[in-house]
A and B are shown apart, each in its own frame.
Chain A
Amino acid sequence: MGIDAALAGRTFPPTAPYAVTAEHVATFAAAVGHPGGGAAEQLPPTYPIVVTFAALQQFLDAEQVELSRIVHGDQRFVYERPVRVGDVLTATLTVTGVRSIGGSDIVSTSSAITDAEGALVATAGATIVHRGEEA
């Protein structure tokens, strides 16, 4: 099943607010071997993937796309400020483009990651590739 090109421009509902805990930051930092662990002032810069992925998963579920047919094409984070323990983050995904190449659908997205006050913390641009049956 392909991804509808008409989705371009659509914004999906925000993810459930996600509270950043020291415990989870420590787990994430340990998983990627990030120096300093959870006690460090600087979280691993890729930490916001947690809410970004939740937004992507929500999008895939809404479109009934099987996760195993997805590979990550690219990812870019632009940070307005560092994420901190205690932040409550929400990601709101907008589909910025859908194109098909060789049986695969390439979906470009941009997720606004905001804090409890609604202020922008980071913008996460992600391209995901839905690999068709022939891929």
Chain B
Amino acid sequence: MNAGETLGPVTFAVTRADLVAYAVASGDHNPIHVDESVALAVGLPGVIAHGMYTLALVGRAVAEWTGGAEVVELGGKFVAPVVVPAEGAAEVTVAGTVGEVDADGLRALALEVTVEGRKVIGAPKAIVRA
């Protein structure tokens, strides 16, 4: 990959079944990710995806774009909930731009993570070994 090159966009469909599977796999059994009545009771707009599920999709996109490059840093701020409907799916879009390789042989990817054009991860950061 070359600096300035565009990555994606790639869109992932997220269903409630995905969140149930993720809860089991990750050990994060917060009911706001699987039970609408609990989510509504605590004032959320509905069942929301685990922030870490969305961040995992970023990790997946990075792995696909870089051919499995070593990731040395990954993170972001969960600025808006990804609300997942009972039927159908929420669509998370990840896009990026390749940065320069620094003196340590590391390359930052500038990323955007959105749902219906709205940012869901703020200041997403991925640094890979070039």
Q: What residues of chain A have their CB less than 8 Å away from a CB belonging to chain B?
A: 24, 27-28, 30-36, 40-42, 44-46, 49-50, 53-54, 57, 67-79, 82, 125, 127, 131, 135
Contact = CB atoms under 8 A, between A and B. Distances in A.
Contacts of B52: 46, 49, 53, 72, 75
A134 to B, nearest CB: 8
Nearest to A57: B27
B26 A33 contact: no
A71 B32 contact: yes
A70 B59 contact: no
Residues of A contacting B: mostly: mixed
Interface of B: 12, 18, 21-22, 24-32, 38, 41-44, 48, 50-53, 55-57, 59-60, 62-64, 68, 70-78, 81, 122, 125
> Which 7 pairs between the two chains have the least Cβ-Cβ distance?
A76-B75, A32-B56, A31-B25, A72-B51, A74-B77, A45-B71, A45-B59
